[in-house]
């Protein structure tokens, strides 16, 4: 990235952070992983249980193993076979954990957090239940506004996610959302968090690198 691209990126991220703060989210920008991981570990102090959403971003940063090393009890449903009772129980435990760590499908420069979910454990845990929530996103997920957020999900994030899950949904073949009625559909709930949920300490951490879908 040259200095002009860096300047452009900084404006985008800083605008998102400022608008999120106006909406009472505790938002921060990070230019390197070390600072981001320190921020997350600092906020994990005192948390005995840590829930982890189904997110590539959090795993790519090594956050799960970092939390385990720190002695936390991890609720990570990816450790179980989908549909098994243990997997369902794990998703339920995420709803009441001390700290929930997730990514998002999109963060807007107008200060919103946007997601589409299949089950809802992620978006439910983000809004009420866990004592603290940290949303970690790479720069690739910051978009201009709500329309751009939904477009990002429908033309990029959801089709790739469906592909990664080996779903038999039309988007796997068309590379864009067809608003399907497939029983394997992964987009069953749309969530826009417009302002900080009343009773949830919700932090947003944006890092200046591409992460996740
Ligand atoms: S609604 Fe269906 S077609 Fe659209 S992205 Fe989701 S799974 Fe794919």
- Mention every residue, 6+ apart, whose C-beta is less than 8 A from residue 39: 28, 30, 205
85 Cα–ligand 1 center, Å: 26
Q: Would you say the CB of residue 54 lies under 6 angstroms from ligand 1? A: no
Q: Whose CA is nearest to atom 1 of ligand 1?
A: 179
Let me know if residue 172 belongs to a domain: no
Q: Whose CA is nearest to atom 6 of ligand 1?
A: 187
21 Cα–ligand 1 center, Å: 32
Tokens in use for 175? 């590379």
Domain count, the chain: 1
Q: Whose CA is nearest to atom 5 of ligand 1?
A: 177
Let me know if residue 168 belongs to a domain: no
Give the nearest ligand 1 atom to 180 CA.
2
Q: If phi over 0 gives left and psi between -120 and 50 gives alpha, with beta otherwise, what is residue 36?
A: alpha
Q: Would you say the CB of residue 177 lies under 6 angstroms from ligand 1? A: yes
| pTM recorded for the entire structure | 0.96
For 25-68, give the DSSP string.
-EEEEESSHHHHHHHHHHHHTT-SEEEE-S-HHHHHTTHHHHHH
What's the whole-number mean pLDDT along residues 31-49? 97
Q: Would you say the CB of residue 172 lies under 6 angstroms from ligand 1? A: no
Give the nearest ligand 1 atom to 185 CA.
7
Could you report the per-residue pLDDT of 111-151, keeping only the tens digit for each?
999 999 999 999 999 999 999 999 999 999 999 999 999 99
Q: Which residues pair with 27 in a beta bridge?
A: 204
Could you report the per-residue pLDDT of 153-165, keeping only the tens digit for each?
999 999 999 999 9
Let me know if residue 43 belongs to a domain: yes
Let me know if residue 22 belongs to a domain: yes
Helix/strand/coil percentages in the chain, nearest 5: 40, 20, 35
- In this prediction, residue 59 carries a pLDDT of 95
Could you report the per-residue pLDDT of 163-191, keeping only the tens digit for each?
999 999 999 999 999 999 999 999 999 99
Domain span including residue 120: 3-146+194-207
Pocket test for ligand 1, best of 178, 182, 190, 213 (most atoms within 8 A of CB): 178
- In this prediction, residue 79 carries a pLDDT of 95
Let me know if residue 50 belongs to a domain: yes
Q: Would you say the CB of residue 43 lies under 6 angstroms from ligand 1? A: no
Q: Would you say the CB of residue 158 lies under 6 angstroms from ligand 1? A: yes
Q: In this structure, what CATH number is given to the domain that contains residue 82?
A: 3.40.50.10420
Q: Which residues pair with 136 in a beta bridge?
A: 205
Q: Does residue 1 surpass a pLDDT of 90?
A: no
Let me know if residue 181 belongs to a domain: no
């Amino acid at each position: 990235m040259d200095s002009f691209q860096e300047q452009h990126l900084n404006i985008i991220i800083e605008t998102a952070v400022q608008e999120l703060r106006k909406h009472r989210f505790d938002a921060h920008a990070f230019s390197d992983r070390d600072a981001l991981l320190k921020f997350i570990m600092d906020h994990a102090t005192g948390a005995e249980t840590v829930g982890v959403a189904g997110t590539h971003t959090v795993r790519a940063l090594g956050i799960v193993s970092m939390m385990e090393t720190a002695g936390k009890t991890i609720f990570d449903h990816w450790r179980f076979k989908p549909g098994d009772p243990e997997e369902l129980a794990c998703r339920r435990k995420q709803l009441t954990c001390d700290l929930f760590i997730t990514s998002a499908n999109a963060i807007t420069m107008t200060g919103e957090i946007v997601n589409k979910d299949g089950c809802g454990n992620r978006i439910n845990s983000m809004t009420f239940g866990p004592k603290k929530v940290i949303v970690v996103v790479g720069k690739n997920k910051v978009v201009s506004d709500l329309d751009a957020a939904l477009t990002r999900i429908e033309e990029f994030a959801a089709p790739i996610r469906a592909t990664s899950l080996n779903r038999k949904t039309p988007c796997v073949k068309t590379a864009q959302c067809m608003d399907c009625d497939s029983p394997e559909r992964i987009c069953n709930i749309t969530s826009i968090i417009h302002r900080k949920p009343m009773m949830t300490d919700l932090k947003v951490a944006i890092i200046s690198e591409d992460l996740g879908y």
